Amino acid sequence: MLYNIVLFLHIIGVLLMFIGVGVTLTAMLGTLHARTVEALRSWSGLAKKADGLLPLSVIFILLPGGYLVSQGWTWSAAWVAISLTTLVLMTVMGPVINLTRIKAIHTAACEAAEGPLTAELHAIVRNKALWNSVSIMTMLAVAIVFLMTVKPGFAGSLLALAIAVPAGLFASAGMRKQGAAPAASAAKIKKA
């Protein structure tokens, strides 16, 4: 009975992670499509708040996960070690890469004058490091779920990560191409 309750808490952590990632990605896509400074403020503010779910999810994943591993696996099992290492890496990437850039977008939007999105704000929103990091983290989260479900050996675990990283980069490139044109470009398009 205790095992099942702990497993439930572990799954709650995974759900929280995907809710956080989903809301963050939705908000970031909103920043890409924002045409006004006001819209950018709203979307970037939501992305900043949603990013706070990720540390909470890590607690719900790691604490019950430690118990689950102790009940039937070892820390040296390839899927366990690689999942844990990947989760720790994501826990660092979130605040160091993502949150600092999301906060920079939000701060720039809050300091900008009301009106259409400027080329400068547009460039900040399309930050390649931010989009690569968020997209790779999303795919790594999917890879971790795969590892926890399939429990492959070392080669299979590395293969899952080797697929996740380029998939994240591919998704990032596609998403960065979307969105509203900055005000100056939009005006040129209308004149043509």
Mean pLDDT of the chain: 90
Mean per-residue pLDDT for 11-35?
Answer: 93
Return the structure tokens found at 47.
């992305």
Bridge partner list, 36: 116
Cβ atoms of 34 and 110 within 8 Å: the answer is no
Residue 189 scores a pLDDT above 50:
no
- 188 pLDDT higher than 90: no
Q: What percent of the chain has pLDDT over 90?
A: 80
Burial per residue of 15-41, b for 16 or more beta-carbon CB atoms within 10 angstroms, e otherwise? ebbbebbebbbebbebbbebbbbebbb
13 neighbors 59 (Cβ within 8 angstroms): yes
- How far apart, in whole angstroms, are the C-alpha atoms of residue 179 and residue 136? 20
User: Is the predicted pLDDT of residue 182 greater than 90, yes or no?
Assistant: no
- Contact between 102 and 44 under an 8 Å Cβ cutoff? The reply is yes
- pLDDT band per the 50, 70, 90 thresholds, residue 51: confident
Q: Is the pLDDT of residue 186 over 90?
A: no
What is the value of pTM for the model shown? 0.85
Please tell me the distance from the alpha carbon of residue 16 to that of residue 188, in angstroms, as a whole number: 43
- Judged against a pLDDT cut of 50, whether residue 102 lies above it is answered with yes
Q: What is the average pLDDT across 72-98?
A: 93
pLDDT for 179 equals 65
108-132 pLDDT per residue, tens:
999 999 999 999 999 999 999 999 9
Mean pLDDT of 167-184: 79
